[in-house]
Structure 1
Amino acid sequence: MLETTQWINDYFDESSDAIMIFKDTELIVSNHMAHELQEELHMNPKYLVEIADSSVKQKFSSTDDCFNCIIQNKMKQISIPITLAKDMPHPLPYFMIYNVIDAEEHVFSLTLKNRGTINRMDQLAQQRKLTQYVNRAYEDERKRISEDLHDSIAQGVYSAIMGVRRIGDQNISQDEFNKLTEIVQSQLNDTLTEVKRMALDVRPSVLDSFGLLAALRVLAKRLQENSGVTIDVIGNADTSHLSNDIQSVFYRIAQEAINNALKHANADEISILVVSHDHFITLEVIDDGEGFDVPAHQVFNGHSLGLMNMNERVKALNGAFNIKSTKNEGTTVTVKFPVA
């Protein structure tokens, strides 16, 4: 028991947060970090108590609409943003956590947590979460390609092999031979078309050979033929000076935005605009579909990964990404990259 008590004391005293425990307004005990802050900033603990007391009164004021809210009235912790050393060259932003320890005896603690550290931890957590979603997207893409290879390519090749075996049968007639030859040729042509489709999805060769605008026109033509939706590519911007990474991101975002419009928006017309300006180049994908609630799809909900992935790809190359959408008025996806 004594050893456990010592562990608790050590944890309290060595914490990276400044912790102070009060009874009424008198400081009873504080840890090492709290002592350092008091000495360095000449900080009076009672000043913190006054701030906490003011925030508590404001939180539970009778003028507050939620005064009778059960959850609020049972809350034992309140977080209060506070900035120390305001008159110094480098002010210190903190969150002060007011925590009730014993309500009857009016014993409470004030814990100062560095806001910068918390923000960095939040950013790391957000980045880890994003990485998980992106990895899942890659795995889903690999799974889709694997299924296409198995269900389409492999089956097509297998059928052609069976046909070739039958052609090799010396007992078949010339008419049967000719018919089997046509069937095998048709099967191989279908398989070749499917392989080309998959290659375009993975990496369009026209993007490397003829540039972004040509690749976008090929993409638009293919998706228009498959969907029946009118898809136009507008613009004559010179994209030859753009890096391969930026051109790839432009292409992938156009591909994702068009697919989203075809799958979810019931669009009748989609326009792709590529425009050069003095210091930047923009891509806009505009559809006249149903539109959607953008804020609801900007969080990690498992269904908006395509949008989040687009945003991260653009940010990684110092670009700007924006989505505007209105119910029943369509959606505009805009990407902008600076150019020299």
Structure 2
Amino acid sequence: MLETTQWINEYFKDSSDAIMIFKDDDLILSNQMAKDLRRELNLNPQYLVEVADSSVKQKFSPTDNCFSCIIQNKMKEISIPITLAKKMPHPLNYFMIYNIIDPEEKVFSLTLKNRGTIDRMDQLAQQKKLTQYVNRAYEKERKRISEDLHDSIAQGVYSAIMGVRRLENNQFSVEELDELTTVIESQLNDTLTEVKEMALDIRPSVLDNFGLLAALKVLAKRLQENSGVTINVAGNANTEKLSNDIQSVLYRIAQESINNALKHADADEITILLVAHDHYITLEIIDDGDGFDVPKHQRFNGKSMGLMNMNERVKMFNGAFKINSKSGEGTTVTVKFPIV
């Protein structure tokens, strides 16, 4: 027990964060980093207490229209952005963590954490999470393609092979032979059509050869023929300055948005707008369908790319992603990328 206490004391003393413990708003204990900070900045601990007290009162005010206050009132720890040494050439940005230690004795701690360090750690964690998420999405897509190859393409080829083997039977009449070859040819044509459809879904060659706008027009034409829903494509955007990765992301989002509108929105008309501005390019997919409650559908649904995955794909390349939708008022998906 004594050894554990010693470890805790060593951690408290040598922590890179400035830690101060208060009782009844009076400072009773601080570590070395807090002492150094107070000395170098001539920092009055009561100033920090007042900032924390003001933030707590504001956060838990019953008149701030905060929908999550029920949850917040159960929190023992609050993070407060604070800037010290504002008059110096290089102000110091911190997060001040207010933590209740003993509510009955009115003991609490204030911990100053360097905001830049936390931001870098958050960025690294976010990047790791994003990488894992995208990898899972890619693996899910590969699994879907594998299942399509096995369940559809492979079965079609196998059926054709069985038909060819039957041709070895010399007992067929001319009419029966013509009928069998017609069946085999039909099976192979169907399989070839499915292969072409899969190739278009995976990577349309028109995207590489003629650019994004042409690829969107081909996509719209194909989906319109299959669904009967009117799909318009308009725009003046020259996408030559966009990287292949960004063009692929824009194409995939258009593809996913159209498919979502066809499957779930009962839309009669879908419009795709690709417009170039001075310093950015925007893609909008607008449908007149049923619309939906956006916050309820922002998690990955396991059946498609999902809205969350769209957002993550755009963020990977420093773009902006937005969805406007209300029940009965249709949906607009907007993506914006800077043009370098």
Distance 1:337 1:60 in 2: 39
Deviations, residues 59-98 of structure 1 (Å, cap 9, x unaligned):
77899999xx997777544444432222222222333333
- Is 1:330 paired with 2:330? yes
**Does structure 2 retain, via aligned residues, the 8 Å contact 1:298–1:304?**
no
- Is 1:175 paired with 2:175? yes
Distance 1:186 1:269 in 2: 34
Distance 2:73 2:329 in 1: 44
Change (3 A) 1:19 1:299: farther
Shift of 1:197: 0.4
Aligned residue for 2:21, secondary structure, equals strand
The residue that corresponds to 2:149 in the other structure is 149
The residue that corresponds to 2:84 in the other structure is 84
**Does structure 2 retain, via aligned residues, the 8 Å contact 1:273–1:283?**
yes
The residue that corresponds to 1:198 in the other structure is 198
Shifted more, 126-135 versus 282-291: the winner is: 126-135
The residue that corresponds to 1:259 in the other structure is 259
Give the partner amino acid of 1:156. G
Distance 1:318 1:60 in 2: 35
Give the partner amino acid of 2:49. V
Distance 1:43 1:240 in 2: 55
**Does structure 2 retain, via aligned residues, the 8 Å contact 1:160–1:188?**
yes
Aligned residue for 1:213, secondary structure, equals helix
Structure 2: unaligned runs, 5 residues or longer:
none
Aligned residue for 2:233, secondary structure, equals strand
Change (3 A) 1:165 1:276: same
The residue that corresponds to 1:308 in the other structure is 308
Change (3 A) 1:237 1:23: closer
Distance 1:334 1:61 in 2: 36
Give the partner amino acid of 1:6. Q
**Does structure 1 retain, via aligned residues, the 8 Å contact 2:300–2:306?**
no
Percent identity, please.
79
Deviations, residues 261-319 of structure 1 (Å, cap 9, x unaligned):
11221111111223344444433221111122334444667688533333343344444
Shifted more, 53-62 versus 241-250: the winner is: 53-62
Shifted more, 30-39 versus 116-125: the winner is: 116-125
**Does structure 1 retain, via aligned residues, the 8 Å contact 2:97–2:112?**
yes
**Does structure 2 retain, via aligned residues, the 8 Å contact 1:79–1:95?**
yes
Shifted more, 310-319 versus 52-61: the winner is: 52-61
Shifted more, 308-317 versus 204-213: the winner is: 308-317
Distance 1:208 1:271 in 2: 23
Distance 2:133 2:105 in 1: 48
Aligned residue for 1:11, secondary structure, equals helix
Structure-to-structure mapping, 1:218-233, within 5 angstroms: 218-233=218-233
Distance 2:56 2:230 in 1: 60
Aligned residue for 1:96, secondary structure, equals strand
**Does structure 2 retain, via aligned residues, the 8 Å contact 1:291–1:329?**
yes
Change (3 A) 1:302 1:48: farther
* Two-structure CA RMSD over aligned residues (Å): 3.1
**Does structure 2 retain, via aligned residues, the 8 Å contact 1:133–1:305?**
no
**Does structure 1 retain, via aligned residues, the 8 Å contact 2:270–2:285?**
yes
Distance 1:52 1:6 in 2: 30
Structure-to-structure mapping, 1:100-115, within 5 angstroms: 100-115=100-115
> What TM-score, normalized by structure 2, do the two folds share?
0.85
Change (3 A) 1:308 1:57: closer
Structure 1: unaligned runs, 5 residues or longer:
none
Change (3 A) 1:236 1:113: closer
Distance 1:180 1:7 in 2: 83
Distance 1:265 1:258 in 2: 10
Distance 1:265 1:192 in 2: 31
**Does structure 2 retain, via aligned residues, the 8 Å contact 1:82–1:94?**
yes
**Does structure 1 retain, via aligned residues, the 8 Å contact 2:300–2:309?**
no
The residue that corresponds to 1:235 in the other structure is 235
Distance 1:130 1:272 in 2: 28
Distance 1:173 1:298 in 2: 62
Aligned residue for 2:332, secondary structure, equals strand
